[in-house]
Amino acid sequence: MSTNTVQKRPGGRSAAVLNSVKIAVEELVQEKGRERVTIPMVAERAGVNPTSVYRRWGDLQTMINDIATYRLDPTRPIPETGSLKADLTAWAREIVAHYRNPTNAALLRGGAASAGETESDCTRNRRAEAGMMVERYGATSPVTPDEVLDHLVAPIIYRVIFLPWTLDDGTADSLVERLFAGR
Amino acid sequence: MSTNTVQKRPGGRSAAVLNSVKIAVEELVQEKGRERVTIPMVAERAGVNPTSVYRRWGDLQTMINDIATYRLDPTRPIPETGSLKADLTAWAREIVAHYRNPTNAALLRGGAASAGETESDCTRNRRAEAGMMVERYGATSPVTPDEVLDHLVAPIIYRVIFLPWTLDDGTADSLVERLFAGR
DNA sequence: AACTAAACGCAACTCAAATTGCGTTAGTAT
DNA sequence: ATACTAACGCAATTTGAGTTGCGTTTAGTT
């Protein structure tokens, strides 16, 4: 007997459907905004029957959240340059670059609407990553993880949601600079 | 002839409908989140016919935005204590207090979903208010309006949306403290 | 007190989203 | 190679949001 049999069948057609739906969702969210996207619309763009989407995800909210999870891989390597300031700069640049992609920004805005009750994946992951970097430098660190969230992550996310056109190449650097000012 | 006749008839039934709809919207947005609120739902809660809501506002987006406008009056007085730090502290406390009301927080989250294209009222008003306070102290001000947005407004809004349970009485004060640290 | 018109309520209707039953396809196991 | 079954496609149906026509109510006017 082989290892325990899984419920899902990964390869083949199922995977193809998943992939084409994923692409369709990303395109449509970027084009129209999460608000104006419907499941039949996604199905048509993906060349898939709406029924398949309903069966697999149930509703639009679940589907989009699920698909958004595939982005900004939580297992990606965290910058490790030897200096906390340089680590945070590289890390912040990654986040800014990620959210300058209009699709990712639209998905974030959509996620904001349904946040508040439980801690979102996005927030939890950023907090954990910040904690890892700060703790490398022990009690000598000039900044705390909470300060990183308040003064590095929060300004970036705020701009992504409300002022996306103010996000430029220098945003990450100047925020880090200000974070370390007077320390 | 009397003074120019207005189109709308203020008192009486119309006002009663407006008021009960307003309450219903605030309750429902708080309970279910802006996403899951529909006009028939609001009408039923308000004890009003859905047709009336459709006729008056047209669609859900317009209705909720209109009702949200009644909150955090943009003509309210801005703190003026004689010290920029004290002004910003009082101002930040107001914002925190406002968004610790779950209804206001839910409306903000809902607004985030449809932001990004054009500058929202919320952002524009905060930016203008910050500018007014900073400019009172001229070129000698230790902080710029942009810094106020990045390190005072952004952390508050970020917490309201994603980490509302971390908003406590000390949040505003400690953020201002950090903003002025080393200046 | 009678008149006017804006706003409301009611009921019928439209249309797209969502659901369901059933036959078919295709990946996996023996 | 054959059997098994999860996932898909198709078509019919149901559900509910949004619209429209029309009669009724009521605040404001004369």
pLDDT (mean) for A56-62: 88
Output the distance from B56 CA to D20 C1' rounded to whole Å. Answer: 15
Cα of A160 vs its chain's centroid, Å: 12
* CA angle (B141 as vertex; B137, B146 as ends), nearest 5: 110
Q: What is the pTM of this model?
A: 0.81
Q: What angle do CA A21, A116, A163 make, to 5 degrees?
A: 75
Cβ atoms of residues B72 and B104 within 8 Å: yes
Average pLDDT over residues A59-84: 83
DSSP designation for B5: P
Band (pLDDT 50/70/90 cuts) for residue A146 is: very high
* Residues from A in contact with B at Cβ < 8 Å: 33-35, 61, 105-106, 109-110, 112-116, 119-120, 122-123, 147, 149-151, 153-155, 157-159, 161-164, 175, 178, 181-183
pLDDT tier, B10 (very low <50, low <70, confident <90, very high otherwise): low
Q: How high is the pLDDT of residue B39?
A: 95
Four-residue CA torsion sign, A70, A76, A78, A81: negative
Determine the straight-line distance between the first and last CA of chain A, rounded to whole angstroms.
62
Predicted local distance difference test score (pLDDT) of residue B3: 26
Number of H helices, E strands in chain A: 10, 0
Place of tokens 């009056």: B73
Minimum-distance residue to D18 (CA–C1')? B54
Closest-CA residue of chain A to B31? A117
CA–CA dist A21, B40 (Å, integer): 31
Which pLDDT value is given to residue B31? 87
Model confidence at B7, pLDDT cuts 50, 70, 90, reads very low
More confident residue, A19 or B118: A19
Residue B62 has pLDDT above 90, yes or no: no
Q: In a 3-state reduction of DSSP, which class is residue A149?
A: helix
DSSP calls for B136-165: TTGGG-SS-HHHHIIIIIHHHHHHHHH-GG
What's the pLDDT score for residue A42?
Answer: 95
- Greater confidence, B172 or B141? B172
Tokens of A134: 């700060």
Among the residue ranges A66-70, B27-31, B33-37, B44-48, the one predicted with the least confidence is A66-70
* Residue B97: C-alpha distances to residues A57, A67, B31, B64, B147 (Å): 38, 35, 20, 21, 21
**How big is the CA angle at A125 (ends A121 and A130), to the nearest 5 degrees?**
155
CB contact under 8 A, A161 and B33: no
CA distance A182 to chain B (A): 5
> Looking at residue B125, what DSSP letter applies?
H
pLDDT tens for B112-167 read: 877 776 777 778 889 999 999 999 988 888 999 999 999 999 999 999 999 999 99
